[in-house]
Structure 1
Amino acid sequence: MDNKFKKIVLENSDTIVHNWLNEIDTMKSGNYSASITEELLENTNREFVNIIFSSIKNQGETEHLKEFAEKLINLGWQVSYITDGLQLFRRVTIDFILSQSDKIDTDYISQLLHNVDQWVEPIIRQLVNEYSGNWENIVSLQRVALQELSAPLIPVIDNITVMPLVGTIDTERAKLIMESLLDGVIKHNSEVVLIDITGVPVVDTMVAHHIIQAAEAVRLIGATCILVGIRPEIAQTIVNLGIDLGKFHTKSSLRKGFITALEITGRRIIDSRDKDDAIEQMIDSLSGE
């Protein structure tokens, strides 16, 4: 990029900016900026064009580009705002400089295009790279968060925990369920784990296999697994597939499963109205011993 080109651009920056803002405003209807407020769009456009001109003054400056890319991601704007805006800026700049020149020939146009490309192309590449990198990082963090939420182990009472499963279970998620179960059983000193599949839409051979593996792993470390939330259609599917769940406790609802879990851990629910009778029965039982 030659110094003469820089001088022309900087001396006429106000006019170029004005022309660009007028042009980009016509792109508002029906595209990425259609639902954005006028004030936000205007402020962002001005920030955008300031970054473009600061790059020609301070070549190699990247911090403002990073911050601008992060801002666009937080606003939820598409990357097309960057590419369309810079391509439009390229055209506006070329049109303006050509309109101010008395001598226009092939060499002049070729040199002009070369200078504009040297200015704009690095900004496009860097902004798109920054935008993509930040977006991928956000998606990665969201994926981790969703995975952690997809297999929660909830301690509901001493020695009893519940794992509610919602949505489709694939191999990757099954691995996460297994890890969460085993870690949770040890962490919470669980004697009984209730796996609630009420929210699992389909239980096929693969899903049942993963659940059986998880339940067997829980049994091997000294806890009991109760499978709850088995709806009639799921029960029919399991029977038709020939899947054997005979080794495990199964209940149709979480409530029934919890009552069984209490019994396994030597407890039961007592109606307060029957408390005195229950105490007498316990005393009689102890006396009989």
Structure 2
Amino acid sequence: MSILQQTTIDAIRNGEAPLLASWISNLEQGGALRDSRISKEEVSVQAKDFLRLLVAASATGDAADLAKSEWADSRQFLESLSRSRALQGFDSHHTAYFIFSLKRPLFDLLRSTYEHDPQVLTSELWAISELLDTLGMHTIRAFQKSREDVIMRQQEELLELSTPVVKLWDGVLALPMIGTLDSQRTQVVMESLLQRIVETGSEIAIIDITGVPTVDTLVAQHLLKTVTAIRLMGADCIISGIRPQIAQTIVHLGLDLGGIVTKANLADALALALKRSGLSVVKAG
């Protein structure tokens, strides 16, 4: 690719209004404006802003290298556009189509501008095509990164929500766990639980694994690490939710959970915790 001819840049600048109208018409025909998540007015403003950035960058910048400073504003615009589309729930095709749908209006403009000079027309058509392809690919990459950031943040939020630390009684905390326990989740569990132990001054922590589907060697190791960290904080730990299937699995695997107090359900674990705290629950009256 190379710098566009000044005649091409002038033609785009002078024909901005009909070019934008044709571009918006293409977007409408392609179904890009049928979604209620984005309005035609918003897309029109974005199209106008991008076209002016494109003209400004093309006047001084070599389209062969979008990393150059001349394209900084265009890159920033496309990255912002991709991020907003990702947050709105659009896919990469919808986002890239915003750029690629500009090809036909520009091609039509170039044909009318260089209708008597086919050699220059061919050269400029190729330059514009490569430029929009490069900008479109940059948009897709920016969208994918934004989407990955959204997914990662959602996973972190779900992970935090799936490991709530509940205060059952003064000095007694419970952590009901649901789903698979892996290294990343174990780290979140330990951080959340240890932080709550410090905040509340609790002396007993109950880890309920009723919602953990399976217990293997790796899961047992994660539990042991968590229990060890809790003990280092000066608190005791009780593991509840040891179902018959899990108990058999632990025995068959030869896992050593010696020194760890286990209970079949959360109610039994709470009763033991209250007993250790010198408390008892009796029926009123």
TM-score interval, normalised by the smaller of the two chains: 0.7 to 0.9
1:165 to 164, 177, 182: 177
Q: Against the structure 1 CA distance between its residues 56 and 177, is the aligned structure 2 distance closer, same or farther, given a 3 Å change threshold?
A: closer
Distance 1:214 1:160 in 2: 16
- 2:109 corresponds to: 96
Q: Against the structure 1 CA distance between its residues 206 and 64, is the aligned structure 2 distance closer, same or farther, given a 3 Å change threshold?
A: closer
Contact 1:202 1:234 in 2 (8 A): yes
Distance 2:251 2:134 in 1: 63
Q: Against the structure 1 CA distance between its residues 192 and 180, is the aligned structure 2 distance closer, same or farther, given a 3 Å change threshold?
A: same
Partner SS, residue 237 of structure 1: helix
How far does residue 15 in structure 1 lie from its aligned partner after superposition?
2.5
1:45 to 23, 43, 46: 43
Deviation sequence 1:30-75 (CA, Å, 0-9, x none): xxx59723x8353343233212222145435356545433321221
Distance 1:230 1:35 in 2: 53
How far does residue 152 in structure 1 lie from its aligned partner after superposition?
3.0
Distance 2:115 2:242 in 1: 83
Gapped regions of structure 2 (runs ≥ 5): 58-70
Q: Against the structure 1 CA distance between its residues 211 and 35, is the aligned structure 2 distance closer, same or farther, given a 3 Å change threshold?
A: farther
2:91 to 63, 66, 78: 78
Partner SS, residue 126 of structure 2: helix
- 1:11 corresponds to: 14
Partner AA of 1:253 in structure 2: N
Partner AA of 1:198 in structure 2: T
Contact 1:153 1:161 in 2 (8 A): yes
Partner SS, residue 165 of structure 1: strand
Partner AA of 1:45 in structure 2: V
Gapped regions of structure 1 (runs ≥ 5): 274-289
Larger Rg, first or second structure (1 or 2): 1
Q: Against the structure 1 CA distance between its residues 171 and 87, is the aligned structure 2 distance closer, same or farther, given a 3 Å change threshold?
A: same
Deviates more, 1:264-273 or 1:39-48: 39-48
- 1:155 corresponds to: 167
Contact 1:52 1:123 in 2 (8 A): no
- 1:242 corresponds to: 254
Distance 1:213 1:66 in 2: 42
Contact 2:11 2:109 in 1 (8 A): no
Distance 1:183 1:88 in 2: 53
How far does residue 87 in structure 1 lie from its aligned partner after superposition?
2.0
TM-score by length of 1: 0.79
- 1:175 corresponds to: 187
How far does residue 90 in structure 1 lie from its aligned partner after superposition?
1.9
Distance 1:214 1:75 in 2: 39
Partner AA of 1:12 in structure 2: G
Number of aligned residue pairs: give it: 267
Contact 1:6 1:56 in 2 (8 A): no
How far does residue 260 in structure 1 lie from its aligned partner after superposition?
1.0
Contact 1:94 1:113 in 2 (8 A): no
Q: Against the structure 1 CA distance between its residues 252 and 151, is the aligned structure 2 distance closer, same or farther, given a 3 Å change threshold?
A: same
Distance 1:34 1:269 in 2: 64
How far does residue 223 in structure 1 lie from its aligned partner after superposition?
1.9
Partner AA of 2:15 in structure 1: N
Q: Against the structure 1 CA distance between its residues 132 and 151, is the aligned structure 2 distance closer, same or farther, given a 3 Å change threshold?
A: same
Partner AA of 1:55 in structure 2: L
1:255 to 251, 257, 267: 267
How far does residue 266 in structure 1 lie from its aligned partner after superposition?
0.4
Contact 2:95 2:143 in 1 (8 A): no
Contact 1:2 1:115 in 2 (8 A): no
> Aligned-residue CA RMSD in angstroms?
2.8
Distance 1:160 1:98 in 2: 78
Distance 1:147 1:264 in 2: 31
Distance 2:237 2:228 in 1: 8
Q: Against the structure 1 CA distance between its residues 223 and 40, is the aligned structure 2 distance closer, same or farther, given a 3 Å change threshold?
A: closer
Distance 1:64 1:179 in 2: 39
Q: Against the structure 1 CA distance between its residues 115 and 171, is the aligned structure 2 distance closer, same or farther, given a 3 Å change threshold?
A: closer
Q: Against the structure 1 CA distance between its residues 264 and 100, is the aligned structure 2 distance closer, same or farther, given a 3 Å change threshold?
A: same
- 2:82 corresponds to: 69
Distance 2:16 2:125 in 1: 16
Percent sequence identity over matched residues? Answer: 26
